[in-house]
Homo-oligomer: A and B are copies of this chain.
Amino acid sequence: MTKAPETERETQRIEAFSDGVFAIVVTLLIFNVKLPEPAAVTANGLLAELAKSWTIYLAFAASFFFVLVMWINHHRLFTIIRRADNNLMLLNGLLLFGVTVVPFPTSIVAAYLLDPQQQAAVFIYNGWFFLVAIMFQLLWRYAAHNNRLFSHAVDPAITRHIARSYNIGLVLYLAAVLIDIISPPVSLAISIGLAVFFAIPNRQVQQLMTTSDTTA
């Protein structure tokens, strides 16, 4: 009886630390968006020069929503995780490592999207997202293995659904990386689409969660 609140506080502090990291990454992304050159602004006007930087805004927005969706999923995952152990802290730390790096590939794709280096830039961008998806998968698999760290009330149907949706995500991020060989713009469009897809609430999972909540 005394153990339960203690371990719950444990997972809460991991959540709080992770929330901090997600919140900071999401907020720092804008600092890769630089003002246009003063000389160019004088020549062409401010609005025209800002409009030219649309690749930077696109990369910024795409990364913002990628990290936001990562946070929403991390958040959902921790609503069913009830216990923490050292391995969970390390795998979570690995995921946070992946997330803190995101501003770097973002600045690469922002700088080289309209450049001959486009293919390499999109490869690094989507390749990193694929690695982050793998890190998320590792965290999930470790926690989910035999319901290791879940509360007993978690319906196995939920974990099956979540597992399936994460697997699909992993395959699609890999597809985005591979399609970059043929068409970098399509590759980028896929990874932006994936953020949208994962942001949309999965009705089935929500229903299952509500049900198991009521019966808990």
Contact = CB atoms under 8 A, between A and B. Distances in A.
Interface string A68-112: 100110010001000001110110010011001101100110011
A47 B46 CA distance: 30
A182 interface: no
A190 interface: no
A15 B13 contact: yes
Contacts of A117: 41, 45-46
Nearest to A102: B30
Nearest to A87: B201
Contacts of A90: 199
Contacts of A21: 23, 26-27
A100 to B, nearest CB: 5
Given A35-B107, A213-B6, A65 B93 contact: yes
B30 A104 contact: yes
A28 interface: yes
B24 A97 contact: no
A145 interface: no
A108 B16 contact: no
A96 B6 contact: no
A38 B108 CA distance: 11
A9 to B, nearest CB: 8
A13 B24 CA distance: 15
Contacts of A28: 24, 27-28, 31
19 contacts: A3-B213, A16-B16, A16-B19, A21-B23, A24-B24, A24-B27, A24-B28, A26-B96, A26-B100, A30-B103, A45-B117, A50-B124, A65-B93, A65-B97, A68-B96, A72-B93, A85-B201, A90-B199, A93-B199
